Amino acid sequence: MADLAAAAGLTPEEAKEARRRAGRELNSLEWAILGVQWSEHCAYKHSKELLRSLPKEGASVMAGPGASAGVLDLGDGWACAAKIESHNHPSAVEPLQGAATGLGGIMRDVLAMGARPAAFLDSLRFGPLDDPRSAFLARGVVAGVGHYGNCVGVPTVGGDVYYHPSYQRNPLVNAMCVGFLRHEEMRSAAAAGEGNVFLLLGAATGRDGIGGAAFASVELQADASQDRPRVQVGDPFFGKLLIEATLEILRDLKVVAIQDLGAGGLAGASIEMCHQGGVGAEIELAQVPLRAQDLVPPEILLSESQERMLLCLRPEDVAPAQAVARRYGIEAAAIGRITAKPAMRFLFHGQCLSELDTAIYAEAPLRHLPEGMPVGHRALLTYDAPAARQDLLSLLGLPDLSDRSPIYSTYDQDVGLRTVVRPGLDAAVLRAALGAPGVAVTTDQNPRLCALSPELGAEHAVAEAARNVMARGAAPIGLTNCLNLPSPEHPEGAAALRAVVAGIGHAARELGVPVTGGNVSLYNEAEGVAIVPTPVIGMIGLLPDPEHAIGVGPAVPGLEVLLLGDFAPHLGGSVFAELKSLGQSEPAQPDYEGLRRMRAVLENDAAREAIALLHDVADGGLMTALAEIALYTGLGLDLALGQADALTLFGEASAQFVALSGDPGALMAAAERAGVNCRTLGRTTAGGLRIQSDLGVWEYGQEELQRAWRREA
Amino acid sequence: MRADILVFPGSNCDVDTEIALREALPGWQVTRQWHDGADLSGSQFCVLPGGFAHGDYLRAGALAARSPAIEGVRALIARGGLVLGICNGFQVLVEAGILPGAFQANTVQHFICRDVALRVERAASPFLDAFAAGDVLTLPIAHQEGNYRLTEDEYRRLKDEGRIAFTYCGPHGETAGDYNPNGSYASVAGVLAEGGRVLGMMPHPERAAWPAIGRTDGLRILAAGLATAMQGGTL
């Protein structure tokens, strides 16, 4: 019997604990379910304790960690549901379907809160593009995001991408979904009411993706192609029908509880819904609509076939729900009923295969993280105008800074008519509906900083995400995080996990932004190479009037260019230091006080209205930020920078912005009141980018910048 | 007056089109109708919206073109009503034989979503009444199979009959240069049926019907024809 437990991926201690709790030996079905439910992917057994330390409280939080997705109040009765999740290992094996089902899975989490999925963001990490395998994976993943998002009718409005050798064999695909709902439409996953019915809605169940959660909970093997059957297959057309049918059922009927079928399939969803509601269920597996008729009970329970939702309904609502499903041509089967006794009874053609307390499955024993430990040095150089001129062009052409439009122009960015500002600069802007409030959304993390210090890197990820939504004039009100890390069973991995959670917690507290949930992806290593700790932050910024967000109107020649914030750049962890092989030193801590003051400036209506465009100084420093403004607007900039050296031109700051303004007086007054330094750099023009400094004078034509940025050299 | 939007399984621009039509046609009744059981008998204007009808798993638009709802569209055309097929809706009209030509995958072999410039051609149509030939509009495209194919003869005939509505172009209306986003024959972006009352176009006018953020060119397409249609009194 011990081998059944081991085959399910449980340690001898875990198997012993399971027997102790059950008071008996478990059968093969129970071991199989337990193997999935107690996997890292489902149970968060290495990270649960740590994650409790993150701040969860906030004035806007309507649902936080533990719910299918976080929900934030936007005002006027509107709310925003958002969550980010990883789909790394499947994407390493089958990039197109891996990425596609990553979008589908996170979309259904948002749907399960009662929200209409309104936008995706994709945060991607690949090895260097000159490696053919990395280029293949990058192409496949981008195609997969487009394949699913475009067809399902949810626009992809943002994201981020970095290239780093540690991702060569283990790419990262993190997908975020944002949805909108009215307050009264919010739903939970807590099943309730003895005699209520479990309705399985959506696609028929097949053999795909069996054991996917367990696959995500071990290191990738060199020949990962044999794991292909563990990758699920998405069908965005069916996903679209599922969205419409689900929202119609939620609107017209009294749905008691709802959850999507993700990791652990039907077993996972039913166990979690019952455990949240403190109830049990009796489920007849013969009632589950099958795509392959010869599926056996463990396969039916553990299949991760996509495009399925589990609903808990009152008996009288079952037939009306089935009528809606029929109209959309999708399955809706009553497969079980809720019992007061908190136990899961699984039946097959009336025969009871298993009865076990819900809590035994749902409460995995937690694992202790091994103790562990990390890095740095520095250099400097003399500098002149010709070098500065060339260095900017070189930076713009690096894969980490170059034009992202070849990626996002393959995504439908507009469907739904909610996209006020499309992807490109800082954060996209969405409205919840016609005339409703909206949000600015972004994902961020910088592998260079995280490689030097996972903790400071995590802090900077939060700071950068906050800056990006602030650049649209939005107030950061909540974040969702996806923690991509190597194996927690090694001391370094365990230390990195602790460090990124500490960093996010610290930054979130400093900025007053609650963490509304997210996802942990461990075991991101392949062939002996561990990824750089990659805590991706998805940030939601509130915009009461999204159609008047900063950057919606056109920028024109003749605007004043201003630099806001203390000019305190660092070369530690900068792209410039990498470009010039300077050696890396640990980055500085983000300037939280500077960010709080900048928030005060942006809370001033007159100051916000005075800003035509706002862009933060981040990767590549001030020069890159200025060039990006020229590239994004098509305008020229005529600038006098005064004292300049490599540090001031290319050092990276954490609380600094460049603003374009037609009414600089209002902005300067607000900045002064908030204690934010503000100085004029020059004006926008119809020409190119012209820099005057004590290094000398140099210029770029718009065409020249465009060519460098598009890597057309 | 009533405008109806046909909704196929996999249509995903139907709600967007409804929002835009309400903006474009104040006072009109605007409804979305599920294709199966759709009744267009009280309609003056029918829009086939964008999306992926039936997943486009067969040829784009091929299954939707065989929906019973298409008979209602033909009847509406026969009584002089207006029909607009946008993107996937254009593909459906072509598959139904209501408009000429055929579609292939974009020459770049992937989906493209971005703003393009469109030149209004010399054509008589209620949809083009707000424009003069040579006007340049900005509308977004969002498609994978937008490479519109015509034979040389078909193209000449359409051209002679004034049935080319829009051509992809540069910022000043020029067609020489690299302004054809998908490889369409002669850069054709939209065509009319005989009589000018049926328009099929790949760009999305409903996505450029948002005055608050300065996107309005699509609004003029959705609204323009209708004033004329009402004056013309044929409906």
* Interstrand relation of A156-163 and A116-126 (parallel, antiparallel or unpaired): parallel
pLDDT at position A608 is: 95
CB A45 within 8 A of CB A364: yes
pLDDT at position A365 is: 85
Asked if A673 and A570 sit in the same domain, the reply is: yes
Q: Which residues contact A316 (CB under 8 A, 6 or more apart)?
A: none
Backbone angles phi, psi at A184, to 5 degrees: -75, -10
- Interchain CB distance below 8 Å, B52 and A237: yes
Separation between Cα atoms, residue A70 and residue A67, nearest integer Å: 6
pLDDT at position B228 is: 59
Asked if A327 and A393 sit in the same domain, the reply is: no
The closest of A590, A540, A568 to A677, measured between CA atoms, is A568
Q: Name the residue in chain A with its Cα closest to that of B215.
A: A420
Q: Tell me: the pLDDT tens digits for B5-40?
A: 999 999 999 999 999 999 999 989 999 999 999 999
Question: Chain A partners of B10 at a C-beta cutoff of 8 Å?
Answer: 151, 237, 240-241
Backbone angles phi, psi at A605, to 5 degrees: -55, -45
How do the domains of chain B map onto residue ranges?
A: 2-232
More confident residue, A377 or A453: A453
- Interchain CB distance below 8 Å, A410 and B16: no
Radius of gyration, alpha carbons of chain B: 16
Q: Name the residue in chain B with its Cα closest to that of A553.
A: B213
Interface membership of A416 toward B (CB under 8 Å): yes
Active site residue ranges of A? 41, 87
- Given A240, A414, A416, which is nearest B10 (Cβ)? A240
Separation between Cα atoms, residue A341 and residue A194, nearest integer Å: 9
pLDDT at position A217 is: 58
Separation between Cα atoms, residue A10 and residue A146, nearest integer Å: 37
Confidence band of A203 (pLDDT split at 50, 70, 90):
very high
Separation between Cα atoms, residue A77 and residue A251, nearest integer Å: 16
pLDDT at B205 over 60: yes
- Given A327, A413, A554, which is nearest B113 (Cβ)? A413
pLDDT at position B231 is: 54
Query: Per this entry, what is the length of chain B?
Result: 235
Residues A116-123, mean pLDDT to the nearest whole number: 98
Q: Is residue A135 assigned to a domain?
A: no
Per the structure block, which two tokens stand in for A133?
């395998």
> What CATH number does the domain containing A609 carry?
3.90.650.10
Question: Chain B partners of A416 at a C-beta cutoff of 8 Å?
Answer: 15-16
Q: Is residue A618 assigned to a domain?
A: yes
Q: Interface pTM (ipTM) of the complex? A: 0.93
Separation between Cα atoms, residue A196 and residue A249, nearest integer Å: 16
Residues A643-663, mean pLDDT to the nearest whole number: 93
Residues A581-605, mean pLDDT to the nearest whole number: 91
Residue bearing tokens 């071990």: A218
Asked if A347 and A406 sit in the same domain, the reply is: no
Q: Quick one: which H or E segment has residue A476?
A: strand A475-484
Q: Is residue A521 assigned to a domain?
A: no
More confident residue, A215 or A67: A67
Separation between Cα atoms, residue A314 and residue A253, nearest integer Å: 9
Confidence band of B110 (pLDDT split at 50, 70, 90):
very high
Q: Which residues contact A586 (CB under 8 A, 6 or more apart)?
A: A375, A376, A452, A453, A456, A572, A573
Q: Is residue A575 assigned to a domain?
A: yes
Confidence band of A660 (pLDDT split at 50, 70, 90):
very high
Question: Chain A partners of B50 at a C-beta cutoff of 8 Å?
Answer: 415
Asked if A404 and A326 sit in the same domain, the reply is: no
- Given A150, A241, A414, which is nearest B140 (Cβ)? A414
Q: Is the dihedral of CA A110, A115, A117, A120 positive or negative?
A: negative
Q: Which residues contact A223 (CB under 8 A, 6 or more apart)?
A: none
Q: Tell me: the pLDDT tens digits for A475-509?
A: 999 999 999 999 998 888 899 999 999 999 999 99
Interface membership of B142 toward A (CB under 8 Å): yes
Per the structure block, which two tokens stand in for B125?
């149509």
Check residue B11 and report its DSSP letter. B
Q: Is residue A305 assigned to a domain?
A: yes
Domain that holds residue A354: 188-363
Asked if A331 and A399 sit in the same domain, the reply is: no
Distance of CA A390 to the CA centre of its chain: 35
- Interchain CB distance below 8 Å, B10 and A416: no
Residues A446-452, mean pLDDT to the nearest whole number: 93
Paired strand residues for A475: A542
Q: Is residue A613 assigned to a domain?
A: yes
Q: Is residue A342 assigned to a domain?
A: yes
Q: Quick one: which H or E segment has residue B85?
A: strand B82-86
Interface probe for A, chosen from B213, B216, B219 (most Cβ of A below 10 Å), is B213
Confidence band of A216 (pLDDT split at 50, 70, 90):
low
Confidence band of A379 (pLDDT split at 50, 70, 90):
very low
Confidence band of A163 (pLDDT split at 50, 70, 90):
very high
Separation between Cα atoms, residue A681 and residue B171, nearest integer Å: 32
Asked if A218 and A286 sit in the same domain, the reply is: yes
Classify residue A500 as left (phi > 0), alpha (psi -120 to 50) or beta.
alpha
Asked if A283 and A408 sit in the same domain, the reply is: no
Say which CATH topology domain B2-232 has: Rossmann fold (3.40.50)
Residues A411-415, mean pLDDT to the nearest whole number: 97
Confidence band of A374 (pLDDT split at 50, 70, 90):
very low
CA dist A106 → A5, A154, A156, A614, B50 (Å): 30, 12, 13, 31, 24
Distance from CA of B204 to the nearest CA of A (A): 10
CA dist A51 → A47, A276, A519, A535, B77 (Å): 6, 19, 10, 13, 62
Distance of CA B11 to the CA centre of its chain: 14
Average pLDDT, chain A: 92
Q: Which residues contact A707 (CB under 8 A, 6 or more apart)?
A: A713
Asked if A201 and A350 sit in the same domain, the reply is: yes
Separation between Cα atoms, residue A405 and residue A423, nearest integer Å: 8
Confidence band of A570 (pLDDT split at 50, 70, 90):
confident
Q: Give the number of domains in chain A.
A: 2
Active site residue ranges of B? 87, 204, 206
Interface membership of B105 toward A (CB under 8 Å): no
Q: Tell me: the pLDDT tens digits for B170-196?
A: 999 998 878 999 999 999 999 999 999
Confidence band of A568 (pLDDT split at 50, 70, 90):
confident
Residues A516-520, mean pLDDT to the nearest whole number: 93
Q: Name the residue in chain A with its Cα closest to that of B142.
A: A412
Q: Name the residue in chain B with its Cα closest to that of A548.
A: B213
Residues A601-625, mean pLDDT to the nearest whole number: 96
Q: Quick one: which H or E segment has residue A458?
A: helix A454-470
Backbone angles phi, psi at B40, to 5 degrees: -100, 10
Distance from CA of A553 to the nearest CA of B (A): 7
Question: Chain A partners of B55 at a C-beta cutoff of 8 Å?
Answer: 151, 235-238
Confidence band of A46 (pLDDT split at 50, 70, 90):
confident
Residues A185-207, mean pLDDT to the nearest whole number: 95
Which residue type sits at A622?
Answer: L
Question: Chain A partners of B206 at a C-beta cutoff of 8 Å?
Answer: 417
Distance of CA B235 to the CA centre of its chain: 20
Q: Is residue A439 assigned to a domain?
A: no
* Interstrand relation of B198-201 and B188-192 (parallel, antiparallel or unpaired): antiparallel
pLDDT at A215 over 70: no
pLDDT at A51 over 50: yes
Distance of CA B115 to the CA centre of its chain: 16
- Given B13, B112, B210, which is nearest A415 (Cβ)? B13
- Given A409, A434, A547, which is nearest B213 (Cβ)? A547
Using a pLDDT cut of 70, give the percent of chain A over it.
95
Interface membership of A143 toward B (CB under 8 Å): yes
Give DSSP secondary structure letters for A39-79. Answer: SHHHH-TTTHHHHTTS----TTEEE-BTBSSEEEEEETTEE
Interface membership of A148 toward B (CB under 8 Å): no
The closest of A626, A629, A651, A662 to A425, measured between CA atoms, is A629
Separation between Cα atoms, residue A462 and residue A87, nearest integer Å: 21
Taking CB atoms within 8 Å and a gap of at least 24, the contacts of A6-14 are: A7/A31, A7/A35, A8/A32, A8/A34, A8/A35, A8/A36, A8/A214, A9/A35, A9/A39, A9/A214, A9/A217, A9/A218, A10/A34, A10/A35, A10/A38, A13/A365, A14/A38, A14/A364, A14/A365
Q: Name the residue in chain B with its Cα closest to that of A407.
A: B112
pLDDT at position B227 is: 63
Q: Tell me: the pLDDT tens digits for A257-299?
A: 999 998 889 999 999 999 999 999 999 999 999 988 888 999 9
Separation between Cα atoms, residue B61 and residue A265, nearest integer Å: 33
CB A660 within 8 A of CB A653: no
pLDDT at A373 over 60: no
pLDDT at position A378 is: 38
Asked if A700 and A645 sit in the same domain, the reply is: yes
